[in-house]
Amino acid sequence: MSDRLRLFALKQATPGHTGIGLWRNPRSQAHRYGDLDYAIELARQLEDGGFDGVFFADAPGVLDVYQGRVDPALRDGLGTPAADPIPIVAAMAAVTTRLDLAVTMSTSYVQPYALARTMGTLDRLSGGRIGWNIVTSALDSGARNLGLGALPAHDVRYDIAEEFMEAVYGVWESSWDEDAVVRDTHSGVYVDPARVRPVAHAGRAFRIPDVGPVEPSPQRTPVLFQAGSSERGLRFAGRHAEGVFLSAHDPALVARQVQRGRKALTEAGRSPTDAVFLANATFVVAPTDAEAARTYREEYLAYASHEGALARYSALLGIDLSQLDPDEPLKAEAANGGVPAIQGIVDVFTRLDPECVWTPRAIGEFVAIGGGGPVIVGSPGTVADRIEEWTHLAGVDGFNVADPLPGVTLTAVCAHLIPELRRRGLVSTPDPGFGTFRERLSGRRGARLRAPHPAAVARGAHPMASSSG
């Protein structure tokens, strides 16, 4: 595993994401979230500026838990409107050569056969630069609008996700031999039928009786990410994830998450270094500390929408925070009672930090900018010092860098912070010989997953489907 820091830009194709209300700032480019020219500009900026990749969060459905209606979310452009990130990622791949691209898709909303086809296509188009953030989803509105009724309970969703992974590995790893595509003009055979076999998955939730729809892409299985922090989510990550997204405001809290994650890897029979851990963070950087503080105060805090933040977290927690006393501490028990909320977020705000008193008002103020990770403000030297401190104390391998003020935040990171990190030897341009996302992320040669990962096991069940990668 390489010791250099990985830096990913954290985006969502919606006006309000990690900077709720900041779309009102005259310098904000948040309104361009679905524009082709913006996607192209951003991709080139990130690659030229030294980012390793970009990660697109996504959550189909409307945020309608707060006040029992969607109006507060609509006012701040939270989740609605939202663009499909898949075409955006394809456009970004077309204008870059090294930038890695991860996108969120839900095992609750998509069939494994269809997801395998989409991701296999993207991986081929990009030359092996695609990652998948695996989520089980937590918005009942998404299930409702996709014709599924209500979402299953939290642990049931993970049971379904486990079967989903078994099915999708069958498509990517075992259905097609590496040399199935022969393109023999003399015999008139494009694909040798003897080298392709049915997936033959017949489970409780999914059925794939026939052959997979895509030939092997450079990575076969895209790089796998996961962000669940519940006990069930951790077990899932330990079994499948190559990258784990973390979010907490204090390095000691993140350190605990990293320790739990590495333990989960070990318990799944993998090495504790088989996944990288990336913490969510926001960097507000300017040439001097004073200028950065002024920018944060006048261009970020002055525009933040606390009500919008509560609308977002009400949906994620499954709790209508408008019904609670704004100054009464939030209790984890409020998320129980059968509501399939994201339990890890409740943990962050109530269980993991007994020193803090988290009220709805405090949560709204805290998460309006940055989404729950640290907001580090200062000159390049000051922010780099904090990054080094975080890396040492939390044991993370890199950061998901939030973009609360599109057009400003990441531009400053590229112009001011990354050169300082490079000067300190904390980041570097990856070896060009590492041609795929998986190789760059892991620091190891080989585009394909290795045993004992279950994807490699699925491929190994059919020796002809193996590769030198």
Determine the Cα–Cα distance for residues 186 and 242; give it in Å rounded to an integer. 43
- Are residues 280 and 402 in contact, defined by beta-carbon separation less than 8 angstroms? yes
Determine the Cα–Cα distance for residues 449 and 169; give it in Å rounded to an integer. 11
The string of pLDDT tens digits covering residues 208-264 is 999 999 999 999 999 999 997 789 999 999 999 999 999 888 899 899 999 999 999
Higher pLDDT, 330 or 310: 310
Q: What is the pLDDT of residue 351?
A: 56
Confidence of residue 353 (pLDDT cuts 50, 70, 90): low
Confidence of residue 350 (pLDDT cuts 50, 70, 90): low
Q: What is the pLDDT of residue 319?
A: 80
Q: What is the pLDDT of residue 346?
A: 57
Confidence of residue 342 (pLDDT cuts 50, 70, 90): very low
The mean per-residue pLDDT over the stretch 168-190 comes to 97
Q: What is the pLDDT of residue 345?
A: 56
The string of pLDDT tens digits covering residues 375-419 is 999 999 999 999 999 999 999 999 999 999 999 999 999 999 999
Q: What is the pLDDT of residue 305?
A: 94
- CA separation, residue 99 to residues 7, 9, 44 (Å): 11, 11, 9
Lookup result for tokens 């997936």: 199
Q: What is the pLDDT of residue 372?
A: 78
0.85 exceeded by the pTM?
Answer: yes
Percentages helix, strand, coil for the chain, rounded to the nearest 5? 45, 15, 40
Q: What is the pLDDT of residue 86?
A: 98
Q: What is the pLDDT of residue 348?
A: 59
Q: What is the pLDDT of residue 469?
A: 46
Higher pLDDT, 330 or 31: 31
Least confident of 21-30, 206-215, 347-356: 347-356
The mean per-residue pLDDT over the stretch 65-72 comes to 94
Confidence of residue 362 (pLDDT cuts 50, 70, 90): confident
The string of pLDDT tens digits covering residues 100-132 is 999 999 999 999 999 999 999 999 999 999 999
Determine the Cα–Cα distance for residues 394 and 11; give it in Å rounded to an integer. 23
The mean per-residue pLDDT over the stretch 299-306 comes to 95
- Are residues 22 and 78 in contact, defined by beta-carbon separation less than 8 angstroms? no
Higher pLDDT, 355 or 137: 137
The H or E element that residue 283 is part of is strand 276-285
CA-closest candidate to residue 318, choices 347, 296, 339, 338: 339
Q: What is the pLDDT of residue 461?
A: 67
DSSP string for residues in 145-165: HTT--SPPPHHHHHHHHHHHH
Q: Six-digit token pair at 408?
A: 């400003």
Q: What is the pLDDT of residue 138?
A: 82
Higher pLDDT, 118 or 468: 118
Does the CA dihedral 287-290-293-295 come out positive or negative?
negative
Considering the chain, what is the average pLDDT of its residues?
A: 91
Q: What is the pLDDT of residue 2?
A: 61
Confidence of residue 290 (pLDDT cuts 50, 70, 90): very high
The mean per-residue pLDDT over the stretch 269-288 comes to 97
Confidence of residue 62 (pLDDT cuts 50, 70, 90): very high
Q: What percent of the chain has a predicted confidence (pLDDT) above 70?
A: 91
Q: What is the pLDDT of residue 339?
A: 42
Q: What is the pLDDT of residue 331?
A: 65
Q: Does 468 score more than 90 pLDDT?
A: no
The mean per-residue pLDDT over the stretch 121-149 comes to 93
The mean per-residue pLDDT over the stretch 276-284 comes to 97
Q: What is the pLDDT of residue 358?
A: 74
- Strands 201-202 and 207-208, by their bridges, are antiparallel
- Are residues 140 and 342 in contact, defined by beta-carbon separation less than 8 angstroms? no
Q: Does 320 score more than 50 pLDDT?
A: yes
Domains and CATH numbers, the chain: 6-280+382-465 (3.20.20.30)
Q: What is the pLDDT of residue 80?
A: 94
Q: Does 340 score more than 70 pLDDT?
A: no
